[in-house]
Structure 1
């Protein structure tokens, strides 16, 4: 017979009520604990039948039946009700065991209150469950860092039988680094007496060091009744899959905020490469079709050159020797990247040959570092088109990629591909707008003698498309020049197209020689007309954002050194005198173009020779990093050296005000004024009389002879005679004849009339009407300009090739 000697077992020798029965059921032994529990002292029951004394008559049949089964089995355990001396029943847990002595058979009974027995059985069941059935690992360590016991979950975790752990050093099944951490953890619990709950640990088993696992460890001390620490128990749960799932979800959330922050194809590719390292891979490359990087539409079947758009490696985010960003990448025909690009299907290779790198040709081979052992390649596809491929390698992390890693890479790649395609479409639209805008902006400054001008156009570094800024230098009659800058509100193709229409309108109005305020009034009418047409066509009614513009129009005359300017909601120009004093020109602001009905006001001022006139758009002074007044002060400070070459002055302005990537488009013109020498201009006042034409011919002939232009005397006499005769016939008061010798020979006749001459074809029977027709045939250009005093009819004759251009004084 074996009885429990456990201190807490209620049926053990120390706690149980004990009795001995002979083969007939007579009581032959009775303990003091039995007397206390049932109430009968030993003399009252010894020698009597237990069935008569301890069993209620009503329970007797069931008890005798149990006794029969006990004899057959050699023992019995169960719950019975025993009659107390006081007459009431006592429910006991009873264990019956057979005793053999001198060929006699007796029965040893151990009993305890049923509640105590059931409670102890439950505790034993819990303990048995922890060691045999619990899925969470349990390990018990002694104070001297030995394993006392582990459960079967640890056995399944390590692959080592639980019995083999007893007496082994703590952490013996782990690699050395992880074993030291396990020992330190147990020692800290023993030293402090405080539990450590839900501590996540990365562990590798010594028998499988390539596989990294994550365990949640809760450690707590075990104490006796006196508070002495008997050891440390640890609950160990393998949470590798849960941890990886949480890690993947976190990486997915992080990628949603880090990838696609800009509408730039290259930047998006680099963001995608960076988000994987080091969280999922040791090395990442993003290779795109070259068509995609240029913003072009890729073909349904991926073809053409592939370039590396992004790469990242553990320890660095800078391109390395094997990471030539922007350079072509060549794949071997059997390379995973080539197959993925051709089929559009992902590839997972947990283990691939170590020598395959040597079989991949080209300077842009796709492996960034030798020693990689696991590979994922996923296509970057959006809207049914394959844009490129993304490759993930592991070389430092020993565990290979899994199917869940491939799923995560596909999800991130699909999101990034959509961002890349959006960036490609934006680049395509931006390139279209840039091409349109470039074709609409002037390609060169026209040759003229009034000013030396240097323009500069700077497109915005970021934003939803190019703006509608423009500039112009327009040669006018009488050696004058018009300087124009404008800014259409809005961005993109609409703004560029509107800019082109306004610029064309400015050229047309400039050819009519209108005053600056009149030019702006006509432009304002045009903008209102365009807005009306757009609304009538059913387009979105936010035309104020697109069909609104600002403009500055200035006309400089190198003969009189007078400049007339007007502005429509545009920043005022900066004028720098020859002594280096730079200041804003006091011009009435005027409303922006498109408001309609409000007048514009022009102002005239005189400019000394060698002055600088600087016209610019709002992007130059509208940078968010500085106040507008500060920007204007910097602009004036950069323009205080009028004698410097204009290219250097332009560069100084840009350096002072423009960051590396301006937020808005910028148009800038810096013009240095010139003055025509007095000897190149001749002017006469002619009275209104019949001999005026004769007098004019004589004056012209003498002056052309003086200038050495006798070969132009005949045609110039005819032109002058016709213009003076028309003024004599249709005007009142005296007239002015002026010759200007610059890049062409200009002949002007001014009078006080506002009646415009018209070119017409005279019939054969008409006596007149052929004068202006002849003038048009003998000149390169001719026209009429109006002023408050009257009108001026002018003509231009080209100087013969090889004729030296007369000297033009410039600062």
Structure 2
């Protein structure tokens, strides 16, 4: 890697990258100043592999003694940008322009998402982009994006809308500039412009925090920028205030968002932009996952596109849920109907799926419980106001899949939902043969599972039926288009998502579209160890020794003390109260160490507080205090008690 001249808008170019290619280095930093995620492009930029950075203080990357990376912004500030001197792995000092966004989860945990754009060669045609008074003084907020959908120009209006200078945004994609579902939708539409060469429109263009009264007070028009030969060379985005249904701009943004003037006088409404439409869009976006969770089993990319009809936003959703044993659940669902009722029902179902997933139910049992929930919801909500709507979400479809990176088995069940598509590493594509099952809310009918072993690097595509129900083609043609888009070579899953939507959608869809694409990883034998244990108390010491030896082989000697205690308690518990066969398994997954002890007894243990003279009862309490999280997973025969430790700091 060689270092090129740098400035706030420039950075070093990786000599291994394709000529002219740009990329964005990304990382996340906890509130305590520890690096929690480190992308492959961050490795390209600074040379450090994730294993050397994740879990370490971000301040160690600084070339100076400044603390910018340890505390990116003062308390209460949601965004920070500036130039920071960092140290490359080979010792070179590099001054890089960084942009950091503060994200807070629903549980209150905050982290910083840090990005740095590394520019490539500028296409020759971009040198002729508008650079005069018209571009700079336009009443619209204007920006131009190149073939990789990275910003190359922005006028003063766009700088005000996003509260960043052009230099701070240059080279970044819109979701990196302003992380928000509206940015994802806008970028997908930009890709559609690039693929089709046709202008497009989006209803909600995000403002940065502090940039305006409401985040979706702007609409955006997108148009191709062509060279003299008619080839698309860039995409121009023009953001502008929305107009009232009767025509003419609304001068008051408050009026635009709420449907009433500042004095409260109403205006006629119309058109796994009315007031109601805005409210439903806001509710739907707030209920969908804002970020996907950290996990090592799958690479993930997702898209959500609301319906473009007057019926309004529906209740499609997707989710990614980490499970015990390094497994991950993928969920896609579709609530019938549109509007606030459908969005609210979607939120309740998504919460229920999380709760049921936490107790590690198999996919078919989880759908059975979800079916019961919808029946109860429909009974609660039945009434005259529910006419024309499916009460409680009766008819909702859902697909629930669990992938295990150790066995590479994927277990899937579906309730009236389209089956997932699978792309093998060799390029073959097919629909997974999963028993259909009835839609949720009908009751009394069983759900069945399908289990398939997936090669490492396989791609799973989960989607809602809005992706296939296009006016201008039948389902078979739509599936052919999706298969062709999925099998095209792509450097990232983000590109796969964009290509699928561009191939499938020639206009705003009549129904919501949710798309979840995942590429499988595998935990190989060097990361997993299994021992069969006899049902004899003397074997506990042997289990501790085996554990210590394995941690030494993994270079995790500092974690030995806590892990020995966990193994000792779990194995002792299985010998005393379980049934043979007994098995101990250790899994080393990135920055997590998982201890699992299985036996053939289906009875689950319960944590209790031992009294002063009790001889037992303290084991699980100790496990709960030592582990980051723990629980019980049931199988057809027997159970597994598991405990996860964070290796950050070891």
TM-score interval, normalised by the smaller of the two chains? 0.5 to 0.7
Alignment of 1:697 onto 2:544: yes
Alignment partner, residue 238 of structure 1 = none
Residue deviations 1:201-252 (CA, integer Å, cap 9, x gap): xxxxxxxxxxxxxxxxxxxxxxxxxxxxxxxxxxxxxxxxxxxxxxxxxxxx
**What is the aligned counterpart of 2:256 among 294, 298, 304?**
294
Distance (Å, rounded) in 2 between the aligned partners of 1:545 and 1:638: 37
Q: Deviations over 1:764-798 (max 9, x none)?
A: 12111010000000010000111113211000011
Match of 1:597 in 2: 444
Work out the CA distance in 1 between the residues paired with 2:561 and 2:314. Answer: 52
1:183-198 equivalences in 2 (<5 Å): none
SS of residue matched to 1:474: strand
Q: Distance in 2 between matches of 1:643 and 1:460?
A: 27
Is contact 2:378–2:391 with CA below 8 Å preserved after alignment?
no
Task: Name the counterpart of 1:764.
Answer: 612
Specify which of 507, 531, 534 is matched with residue 354 of structure 2: 507
CA-to-aligned-CA distance 1:80-100 (integer Å, 9 cap, x gap)? xxxxxxxxxxxxxxxxxxxxx
Larger mean CA deviation between 607-616 and 715-724 belongs to 715-724
2:419 aligns with one of 567, 572, 580: 572
Cα distance in 2 between the residues matched to 1:443 and 1:794: 28
- The verdict on how the C-alpha distance between 1:543 and 1:460 changes in structure 2, with shifts beyond 3 A counting, is closer
Can you list the C-alpha shifts for 1:519-564, whole angstroms capped at 9, x where unaligned?
Answer: 10110011001111112x6643555365121000000001111100
Match of 1:554 in 2: 401
Q: Give the drift of 1:268.
A: 4.1
What does 1:468-487 correspond to in 2, within 5 Å?
Answer: 468-487=315-334
Distance 1:658 1:546, change over 3 A: farther
Q: 2:602 aligns with which of 734, 738, 754?
A: 754
> Contact 1:558–1:673 (CA<8 Å) still a contact in 2?
yes
- Distance in 1 between residues matched to 2:262 and 2:588, nearest whole Å: 64
Cα pair 2:374 2:392 within 8 Å, conserved: no
The answer for the alignment partner of 2:486 in structure 1 is 639
Taking the aligned partners of 2:460 and 2:250, their CA distance within structure 1 comes to: 48
Shift of 1:712: 1.3
Question: Residues 618-667 of structure 1, C-alpha deviation per residue, up to 9 Å, x if partnerless?
Answer: 10001122101111111111111365421111111001111231111110
Q: C-alpha separation between the residues in 1 aligned to 2:482 and 2:368?
A: 29
Q: Could you report, residue by residue, the CA deviation over 1:488-514 in whole angstroms, capped at 9, with x for unpaired residues?
A: 001111101100000001111111111
**1:784 lines up with 2:635 in the alignment:** no
Checking the alignment, whether the CA contact within 8 Å between 1:564 and 1:604 is kept in structure 2 is yes
Paired position in structure 2 for 1:533: 380
Counterpart residue number, 2:645? 797
**1:708 maps to 2:564:** no
Contact 1:266 1:293 in 2 (8 A): no
Asked if the contact 1:531/1:543 (under 8 Å) is kept, the reply is: no
Cα shift readout 1:377-427 (whole Å, capped 9, x = no counterpart): xxxxxxx75x5xxxxxxxxxxxxxxxxxxxxxxxxxxxxxxxxx2227x62
Q: What pairs with 1:613-652 in structure 2 (closer than 5 Å)?
A: 613-641=460-488, 644-652=491-499
Root-mean-square deviation (CA), in Å? 2.0
SS in 2 for 1:422: coil
Change over 3 Å in CA distance of 1:289–1:643 after alignment to 2? closer
CA distance in 2, matches of 1:670, 1:552: 14
Once residues 377 and 371 of structure 2 are traced to their aligned partners in structure 1, the CA distance between those partners, rounded to angstroms, is 10
| In 1, Cα distance between equivalents of 2:389 and 2:511 | 20
Match of 2:616, SS? coil
Greater Cα offset, 618-627 or 495-504: 618-627
Question: Following the alignment from structure 2 to structure 1, what is the Cα–Cα distance between the partners of residues 615 and 387?
Answer: 58
- Aligned pair in 2 of structure 1 residues 534, 712: CA closer, same or farther (>3 Å)? same
Q: Higher helix proportion, which one?
A: 1
Q: Which shifted more, 484-493 or 759-768? A: 759-768
Q: CA, structure 1 residues 512+757, in 2 after alignment: closer, same or farther (shift >3 Å)?
A: same
Q: List alignment gaps of at least 5 residues for structure 2.
A: 1-240
TM-score by length of 1: 0.49
Q: Which residue of 2 aligns with 1:491?
A: 338
Are residue 774 (structure 1) and residue 622 (structure 2) matched? Answer: yes
> Does the aligned pair in 2 maintain the 1:580–1:639 contact within 8 Å?
no
* Residue aligned with 1:552, SS: strand
CA distance in 2, matches of 1:597, 1:526: 13
Q: What is the match of residue 153 of structure 1?
A: none
Query: If you compute each CA radius of gyration, which structure gives the higher value, 1 or 2?
Result: 1
Query: Which residue of structure 1 lines up, in the alignment, with residue 214 of structure 2?
Result: none
CA 1:713–1:664: 2 relative to 1, 3 Å: same
How far is 1:691 from its partner?
A: 1.5
Distance in 1 between the 2:630 and 2:260 partners?
Answer: 53
After TM superposition, give the deviation of residue 756 of structure 1 in Å: 0.4
User: For residues 791 and 301 of structure 1, what CA distance do their matches in structure 2 show?
Assistant: 63
Which segments of 5 or more consecutive residues in structure 1 lack a partner in the other structure? 1-263, 271-285, 303-383, 388-420, 804-811
SS at structure 2 position matched to 1:695: helix
CA contact under 8 A between 1:697 and 1:717: conserved in structure 2? yes
Partner Cα distance (1:487, 1:798) in 2:
35
Paired with 1:293 and 1:633, the residues of 2 have a C-alpha distance of: 45
Q: Secondary structure, in 3 states, of the residue corresponding to 2:390?
A: helix
Deviations 1:733-770 (A, max 9, x none): 22110001113110000111110010111111211101
- How many aligned positions are there? 407
Once residues 745 and 300 of structure 1 are traced to their aligned partners in structure 2, the CA distance between those partners, rounded to angstroms, is 56
Shift of 1:800: 2.5
Distance in 2, Cα, partners of 1:566 & 1:444:
25
Residues 268/427 of structure 1: CA separation in 2 closer, same or farther (3 Å cut): closer
Distance 2:514 2:612 in 1: 54
Match runs of 1:84-483 below 5 Å: 266=243, 268-270=245-247, 286-291=248-253, 294-299=256-261, 421-423=268-270, 427-483=274-330
User: What secondary structure sits across from 2:304 in the alignment?
Assistant: strand
